[in-house]
Amino acid sequence: MVDRVICYRPPSTIAATETDSGSGTNDGVVDVDAIADWLAARIDASVSVRDRFLEEHRTDDLAERFAEARVTSPYERDTGNTMLGTIRYEERALENPDREGGVLYDGGQIQRTLNSALPADERGLETLHVAVLDRAIGTWGAHDGRWHKRVNVLGQPALISVPGLYEAPAKPEVYYKEKQRHALLSGDAPPREVLENQVDGEFLVENDPRTTDALKGYVLQAYHYLQRGEAFCDREGCRLYNAHYHEGLIDAQLRDPEFCSEHARLYGT
């Protein structure tokens, strides 16, 4: 029985609260306090917010454990690069999160690492920890022999990947073609407004102002899994649905109704 949920702010939120008069949101920065308020209105458990998980529960070997969890090839199950330079990179990324990027980590390994960092009196399943991370996480697909980016990894603690929200679900095929065409012509990624104007279809991109609202359902999925032992809902359009395409993500997380009839009885307001 989950009686307490603790949500952790990502590094970008901490930076924003220091520079934006405590607003906690700026051009798509995740407002974990707003997510916590939304969650508290729907579940029978206390919900609180703490600062960055990797600061609250720092261990001496954290940089090395992140290095061990690095995915080195999209088609190789084995992970890890513990050369000194890689560990130094991970140390710098922990101290200055804005320098981290472009690395995929094994979500299962990261989850085990963060679980071992939790205080013993908070590790039980009655307290759910939800770590919102500015890291890309993935799981190995035994069915097709490759890694897949994920928005969340359920369990204790639950991991929520902000980059995963933008990168894990597939976008319309024309999006990738337009992005590649723009990169060939200009040498860099096209601005969001260019893609939105030239690509038919709805999708989320980095710093999307809808980020906070979209992540609410993924945090609820973490609670639902620990509380009821069910991973996802198989009904499209429900907040508990695990969307594989951006169109499905938007339907599930950003459009009414919020829940299917079954889960509306549990979480509807």
Q: Is-cis flag, bond preceding 97, omega within 30?
A: no
**Residue 11: its H or E element:** helix 11-19
pLDDT in tens, 182-219: 788 887 777 766 676 667 668 888 888 999 999 999 99
pLDDT in tens, 133-169: 999 999 999 999 999 999 999 999 999 999 999 999 9
* pLDDT of the residue at 153: 98
Q: What are phi and psi of 22, to 5 degrees?
A: 75, 15
Q: What percent of the chain has pLDDT over 70?
A: 90
Cα atoms in the Cβ-side hemisphere of radius 13 Å centred on 202: 10
Burial of 63 (C-beta count, 10 Å sphere; 0-12/13-18/19+): buried
The residues near 33 (Cβ < 8 Å, ≥ 6 apart) are 24, 49
Separation between Cα atoms, residue 81 and residue 102, nearest integer Å? 15
Q: Rounded mean pLDDT of 32-44?
A: 97
Handedness of CA 73, 75, 76, 77 (dihedral sign): positive
Q: Could you identify the residue written with the tokens 């008069």?
A: 21
Q: What are phi and psi of 49, to 5 degrees?
A: -125, 135
CB 130 within 8 A of CB 60: no
Closest residue by Cα to residue 155 from 85, 214, 225, 71: 225
Could you give all domains of the chain from N- to C-terminal order, each with its CATH number? 4-267 (3.40.390.10)
Q: Could you identify the residue written with the tokens 């991973």?
A: 231
Q: Could you identify the residue written with the tokens 């908070």?
A: 122
* pLDDT of the residue at 171: 87
* pLDDT of the residue at 16: 42
Q: Rounded mean pLDDT of 245-269?
A: 95
**Residue 182: its H or E element:** helix 173-186
